[in-house]
Amino acid sequence: MKTNIVYLLGGLCLALCAACEKICLDPPGHSEADFIVENTFTNPLVPRGADPWVTQKNGTYYFTYTQGGKLVLYETKAMSELALATPHDAWIPEQGMPYSKNLWAPELHAINNKWYIYFAADNGSNANHRMYVVENSSPDPMQGNWVLKGKVADPSDEWAIDGTVLTYKGQMYMLWSGGNAGAAPQHIYIAKMSNPWTIESEKVAIASPAYPWEMNGSAINEGPQVLISPNGQVLVVYSGSGFWVDTYCLGLLSLKADGDPMNPADWTKTPDPVFSMNAESGAYGPGHNGFFKSPDGTEDWIIYHARSAPGGGSRNARIQKFTWHADGTPDFGVPVKIGAPVQKPSGEPIRKIYRTDNWSIAGYSSEELANDRLAIRLIDNNVFTFWITRYSTAPTHYPDHWITVDMGDTLAVDGFILVQKSGDRKIKELELLVGNDNQTWESLGVVELLDLSPNRQYIDLAQRKQCRYFKLVPVSGHDSQEQPGLAEAAAFILEE
């Protein structure tokens, strides 16, 4: 009897704890109708991103892409929010060296408790492109020093780009695209490595352009990327044709079970492309990809570049989820349409954004009477209307700007959302304050706003706050204009 009472009390305590937790975490007096649930994103992720690459480790994603003159890394916890990642210049080459120019297709890899970035570079002449690698012994690739380990070349030392690595049955290999001084055809080669910076064997060609879809613009196989299927089969996804044509696309190589990567006969090329141009989606020349898992590890995602319009132009980075065919090959589907909502990778934060219908502006330093750029525009749910602090009867200048928003009730807040205005007068540094009476304020510190218009920037708080008012105080701007502007402000809680 005594034991039963103990169990009963224990269960009651657990129930009360669960109820208390829900009361503490959920905003009291609010229903789902009071929120806009943000669980999607749109492609492209960023306006640039040729030859994109993603590495993930310990819950963090590291992104890089071709920038020509240097190696740059970006760090994020959520790939759908890549636009918010701050760039970090990892390595800038010394001038006048064989590797000083045209740094292409960088890839970050974690090998033997160190970090390596493989890349192709030359001295200004494409015919001299070779592969190189830099090393960093810091646990965090965004910290520490990158040291050039040297050129990564097989004994032929011929033109080479797009290097990547594979470890299979305890042996490390390098795969790359090579040819005669950059002239067609370009082949995909593989060779054994003795360490992350040394090729120890002769190279072997495992793929050459053979189908018409691999020869548009030029006969090219390039950008090999290793993909391990759910059943453990080694696959290589590569890019076919010239990157500059709209029909640039992805092909697939498969290594037979227990095959020898150095034996070309053990590789099979799929006769049709596995990911191709789709004009309706605004995806021209999709190719040069990478792979990553969702934060919770349950989903497979591909990152790739494409152009948004036919006939050339800049390449931008995009992501989408993919699945697997019954035979163990990837099913990439078709490129997702640009601007179309895409469900976020599983495990990314889901934000419940408060509706602002009943919000009001409780005060401001100044506003622009002309052009109807009033303070109320900050919460009108239109990113194309702005609050601008000028042309008033008493115009303010830095550092005297401020605007206060009344959320109409005391709300639980996990963070704020800000949207920069288009054009000039963007805010660079902004102090954020919260309060309950529009008189007493708690400063949450100064945050840096990025030039993301019209995309949102999320300001995550270190801990949840209860407040009715929040105050925005511009501290500095991205340009010399003394009267800044801002498009939208909102607040959110995280979905538990």
* Catalytic residue ranges: 51, 222
Residue 148 DSSP SS3? strand
Q: How does DSSP assign 312-361, residue by residue?
A: ----EEEEEEEEE-TTS-EE--SPPPTTS-EEPPTTS--EEEEP-TT-EE
Residue 212 has a CB neighbour count (10 Å cut-off) of 10
Whether residue 255 contacts residue 261, with contact meaning beta carbons closer than 8 Å, is answered with: yes
Question: Using the 8-state DSSP alphabet, how is residue 34 labeled?
Answer: G
**Burial grade of 160 (CB within 10 A; 0-12, 13-18, 19 or more):** buried
Q: Smallest Cα–Cα separation from 476: which of 397, 405, 417, 395? A: 397
Amino acid letter, 90: A
Both tokens of residue 461? Answer: 């708080």
> Residue 448 to residues 60, 79, 106, 250, 428: CA-CA distances in angstroms?
21, 20, 28, 39, 6
Residues 6+ positions from 319 with CB-CB distance below 8 Å? 43, 45, 79, 80, 301, 302, 303, 304, 345
Strand 351-354 versus strand 87-91 pairing type: unpaired
